[in-house]
Amino acid sequence: MTVAGKMNQYQVVGRKAATDENPNPEAYRMIIFAPNAVIAKSKFWYYMHQFRKMKKTTGEILDCVEILEKNSRIVKNYGIWLRYSSRSGTHNMYREYRDLKLTGAVTQLYNEMAGRHRTRPRSIQIIRTATLEASDLKRVNGMQFAKKNVKFPLPHRVASAKRNMKALSSTTFTTQRPTTFLG
């Protein structure tokens, strides 16, 4: 069960335990998105025993290393292919996100799947991720921000009293409607 939160990217390498007949078994490497290394290793076995005849008791993890973003200072477009199970069946999906880091995009993905489809993190399997050029984007939402000279106003700005920000009104009742036009 993947607990959600900020996702990190891990490279997990594992293999079946060495035996007398098979002293040097083939090692398998997986890229896992998980909040921490413990869950990453657990997910590694979850996938490995779906794909190969290998499980935690019969195998060993050789390495689990966090993969950091090469350049987290520029905005990139990410395409993510995933498989998720809904209440009525399991489906494939392709989603796009704009973010500075791949792990940021994956975190956005989990949160958005939860919001839009009520999908819990345990039901989501990430098949593949890719960094895309602006011309390769397929979804309209990302495309409109990946253009040159994007500009838009911020209409209807509502002040909120959450977390020490300015409230809409200093009193509970007022006769004046607030100004939401800030240029």
- Comparing CB distances to another protein, the nearer of 23 and 165 is 165
- C-alpha 109/C-alpha 113 separation (Å) is 6
Smallest distance, Å, CB 9 to another protein?
18
- Comparing CB distances to another protein, the nearer of 1 and 161 is 161
3-state SS, residue 13: strand
Positions that interact with another protein (CB under 8 A): 73-75, 98-100, 141-142, 145, 148-155, 160, 163-166, 181-183
Smallest distance, Å, CB 134 to another protein?
11
Give how far Cα 63 sits from Cα of 12, 27, 165, Å.
Answer: 6, 10, 46
- Comparing CB distances to another protein, the nearer of 173 and 181 is 181
| Distance between start and end Cα atoms, the chain | 47
Residue 45, amino acid: W
- Comparing CB distances to another protein, the nearer of 38 and 68 is 68
Smallest distance, Å, CB 110 to another protein?
17
Smallest distance, Å, CB 160 to another protein?
7
Beta-carbon count within 10 A of 37 CB: 15
Residues near 17 by beta carbon (within 8 Å), at least 6 away in sequence? 25, 58, 59, 60
